[in-house]
Amino acid sequence: MSRFSLSAIGVDRPGIVAAVSGVLVELGSNIEDSTMSILQGQFAILLVVSVPGDVTATVVEEALAPVAERFGLLVMVRSFAEAAGSAAAGGAPGAPGAPDASGVEGWTISVHGADRSGIVYGISSTLAAVGGNVIDLTTHLVGEPDAPVYVMTLRATLPAGPAGEKAVAEVGRCAEALGVHCNVQRDEAELL
């Protein structure tokens, strides 16, 4: 089996997920990991798929071409074997809350406060500086249009042990400097 990343973006319309996944089934592929979202009317999907060894990225893109045309999607398929840095692509630790083989733990960080520029940058750059890696991030505005509240939730890996606790403290200091509230919690299997 070969593995590919597949992304598609376009204006949201009913049937996109069914059409994309239908083509993948016809190719004998399996969706291993996925994220899909609608952001202000724009649909975005990112998949990791495994396909039989004789199926190339070009074959997948050509098979998806009618779907892309029908729904007005921009589709890109990329082989993991050809992707630069694919060996370094990690992901969430195997067991939430427990260090994985590389000595990291999963954490969930929730941030909320008055909407302003720089919140994502501040928190993500602080995480990067302390050896953290963002593995999932969502943001949205809630509340009244004249006084929106910015909400960001992200999952990250941080170094295990005391280094992770120090990293959590740095994230808290960053949030305070940004004027937002922050809750950082170690991922625990029984909570997920």
The pLDDT tens digits of the residues spanning 151-191 come to 999 999 999 989 889 999 999 999 999 999 999 999 986 55
pLDDT band at 109 (very low <50, low <70, confident <90, very high): very high
Output phi, psi for 85, to 5 deg.
Answer: 75, 15
CATH of the domain at 137: 3.30.70.260
Q: Are residues 132 and 68 in the same domain?
A: no
Q: Model confidence over 17-28: pLDDT tens digits?
A: 999 999 999 999
pLDDT for 53 equals 87
Q: What is the domain range of residue 125?
A: 104-186
What is the percentage of the chain residues whose pLDDT exceeds 70? 87
171 and 108 co-located in one domain: yes
Tally the domains of the chain. Answer: 2
Structural domain contains residue 19: yes
Cβ pair 104, 159 in contact under 8 A: yes
Residues 113 and 178 in one domain: yes
Are residues 69 and 119 located together in one domain of the fold? no
Contact 111, 156 (CB under 8 A): no
Are residue 18 and residue 66 in the same domain, yes or no? yes
Mean pLDDT of 50-74: 95
- State the pLDDT confidence band at 102, using cuts at 50, 70 and 90: low
For β-strands 42-51 and 30-39, DSSP reports them as: antiparallel
Report yes or no on 85 lying in a domain: no
> What's residue 190's pLDDT?
57
In a domain, 113, yes or no: yes
pLDDT over 90 at 148, yes or no: no
Q: Using CA atoms, how far apart are residues 114 and 150, in angstroms rounded to an integer?
A: 6
Which of 38, 20, 37 lies closest to 29 in space, CA to CA?
A: 20
Could you tell me if 65 and 132 lie in one domain? no
Q: Let me know whether 117 and 162 are in one domain.
A: yes
Q: Are 31 and 99 in contact (CB under 8 A)?
A: no
Quick one: 109 and 165 in the same domain?
Answer: yes
Q: Is the pTM of this model over 0.75?
A: no
End of a domain among 44, 79, 114?
79
Helix axes 57-71 and 16-26, enclosed angle (nearest 10): 150
